Amino acid sequence: ESSRIINFGAGPSALPDSVLEEATKGLLNFDNTGIGIAEISHRSPEFTSYLSSVEALIRSQLSVPTTHSILFTQGGGTAQFSAVVLNLLARHRLLFPDLKDEERNLDYVLTGSWSKSAHKEGLRMAGKHQVNVAADGRIYSKDSKSFDIIPPHESYKFSKDPVLIYYCENETVNGVQFKHDSESIDKEGKSIEGTFPFHLLPKDKLVPLVGDYSSSFMSRPIPRLADHAVIYAGAQKNIGPAGLTILIVRNDCIVDVDAAAALGAQPVPVTMSYKTLADNQSAYNTPPVLAIYISGLVLKRNAELGGMEYYEKVNRRKMQTVYGALREGEEKGVFRGHVQPGSESWMNVVFVVLGEGKEKAFLKGAEERGMSGIKGHRSVGGMRVSLYNAITEEQADKLAAYMREFIASQ
């Protein structure tokens, strides 16, 4: 067993020991070139071929169809808040050149602080375009102002032919997540509350659906992946170090942004244009070589372990273990979960420890047992336990055992 601290941090977050050990070798000598991975040219044949292999690993593990391209960039989820707006505004301009800006609609689904940030950036970028709230979880929250639930299907209002429909699959700060279809279908086979309302989207059109998967990418299969226009994620939760951003873009959304600008759309910075990335195999300028390397090692390991099927199973068990201990603490009046039943995140478990001074005691006890990173986000408070892929079942068990020990001591 590793002597390292168990890191339940929300990101950047834990990476597997075996990957880190292999990475130290690559730092000295990448692919038998005698040159380290942080030193080698991104145009070298060795790195170029490594980059293609990373793409192939993502494509096979997530079953990405040929209708979609896999692109690598930098700037994180935050840069994508702006980039999706600009690229999809360009697409909309080419599709509907005669509409006024006021007639172009951007629809945002608000379920937590990250979708709120994306919406805010949409408002900044959109000029005279219409920026709408398609649904808002706060309306259904326990206190009418927090984000603690996925809004019910009947509350969604989508525009006709929108520029984009944005949602955040997993809200890292608030611990709110959409469920899979397989978890959210009732006995008659109807989708029930909880999952994204894919059935409300038109079936005869290529819908510009944007999924922010920053904190759930590669933790389980992506439902209705083929129905998405853009899926994006920073690597720094489930996959690798910060600095790499992974995009899955449907090919009709990779458009000539300069042709759109000639028709009046906003110009798109060259590094943000999906077409620049696609036309240059994600190496128009220097890509984050080291982050791509380590992410590739993680993805190779994923494949050996059994891919998304493996992680879905393990991540479900980890989540059940920790929520199980949380529910016991709720019954005893020791803990209180933040999220309403049915909307709980598999990745980020958010709760408070009830009673004066008890959070400090809980954190101290965790630290004494070699567990760190569980203090909640400053905006929500309380505790947040992140159960990304590199957290093992044994580590989740250890945390649950400590939670029970703490409950018993109260």
Question: Does 11 sit near ligand PMP (CB under 6 A)?
Answer: yes
Nearest to 313 by CA among 237, 219, 207: 219
Q: Output 246 or 399, the one with its CB closest to ligand PMP.
A: 246
Q: Output 168 or 278, the one with its CB closest to ligand PMP.
A: 168
Question: Does 132 sit near ligand PMP (CB under 6 A)?
Answer: no
Nearest distance, CB of residue 178 and ligand PMP, angstroms: 12
Q: Output 217 or 335, the one with its CB closest to ligand PMP.
A: 217
Question: Does 121 sit near ligand PMP (CB under 6 A)?
Answer: no
Question: Does 82 sit near ligand PMP (CB under 6 A)?
Answer: no
Question: Does 222 sit near ligand PMP (CB under 6 A)?
Answer: no
Question: Does 240 sit near ligand PMP (CB under 6 A)?
Answer: no
Q: Kindly provide the b/e burial profile for residues 34-62, where b requires at least 16 CB atoms within 10 angstroms of the residue's own CB.
A: ebbbeebeeeeeebeebbeebbebbbebb
CA pseudo-torsion sign 401, 403, 407, 410: positive
Q: Output 215 or 282, the one with its CB closest to ligand PMP.
A: 215
Nearest distance, CB of residue 263 and ligand PMP, angstroms: 30
Angle (nearest 5°) at CA 173 between 171 and 176: 40
Question: Does 234 sit near ligand PMP (CB under 6 A)?
Answer: yes
Confirm if 292 and 244 have CB atoms less than 8 A apart. Answer: yes
Q: Find the residue with minimal CB distance to ligand PMP.
A: 76
Nearest distance, CB of residue 341 and ligand PMP, angstroms: 22
Helix (H, G, I), strand (E, B) or coil at 331: helix
Q: Output 172 or 395, the one with its CB closest to ligand PMP.
A: 172
Confirm if 339 and 350 have CB atoms less than 8 A apart. Answer: yes
Name the phi and psi angles at 94, rounded to 5.
-70, -35
Those residues with Cβ within 8 angstroms of residue 25's Cβ, 6 or more apart along the chain or in another chain: none
Q: Mask 157-176, x = binds ligand PMP (CB under 6 A)?
A: -----------x---x----
Nearest distance, CB of residue 91 and ligand PMP, angstroms: 22
Lateral strand order in the sheet of 105-110: 68-73, 245-250, 230-234, 209-212, 164-168, 105-110, 130-136
Nearest distance, CB of residue 298 and ligand PMP, angstroms: 17
Task: Report the number of secondary-structure helices (H) and strands (E) in the chain.
Answer: 10, 14
Confirm if 350 and 380 have CB atoms less than 8 A apart. Answer: yes
Using the rule CB under 6 A, give the single segment among 40-48, 73-81, 259-267, 392-400 that binds ligand PMP.
73-81
Q: Output 167 or 402, the one with its CB closest to ligand PMP.
A: 167
Helix (H, G, I), strand (E, B) or coil at 17: helix
Those residues with Cβ within 8 angstroms of residue 226's Cβ, 6 or more apart along the chain or in another chain: 65, 67, 68
Nearest to 274 by CA among 145, 11, 90, 397: 90
Nearest distance, CB of residue 193 and ligand PMP, angstroms: 21
Those residues with Cβ within 8 angstroms of residue 296's Cβ, 6 or more apart along the chain or in another chain: 50, 53, 54, 57
Binding to ligand PMP (CB under 6 A) within 181-220 occurs at 212, 214-215
Q: Kindly provide the b/e burial profile for residues 281-300, where b requires at least 16 CB atoms within 10 angstroms of the residue's own CB.
A: ebebeebbbbbbbbbbbbbe
Nearest distance, CB of residue 295 and ligand PMP, angstroms: 13
Q: Output 135 or 168, the one with its CB closest to ligand PMP.
A: 168
Binding to ligand PMP (CB under 6 A) within 53-72 occurs at none
Nearest distance, CB of residue 206 and ligand PMP, angstroms: 24
Helix (H, G, I), strand (E, B) or coil at 53: helix
Nearest distance, CB of residue 168 and ligand PMP, angstroms: 5
Question: Does 87 sit near ligand PMP (CB under 6 A)?
Answer: no
DSSP-H helix ranges across 15-75: 17-28, 45-62
Question: Does 78 sit near ligand PMP (CB under 6 A)?
Answer: yes
Nearest distance, CB of residue 257 and ligand PMP, angstroms: 22
Question: Does 13 sit near ligand PMP (CB under 6 A)?
Answer: no
Contact residues for ligand PMP, defined by CB under 6 A? 11, 76-78, 114, 168, 172, 212, 214-215, 234
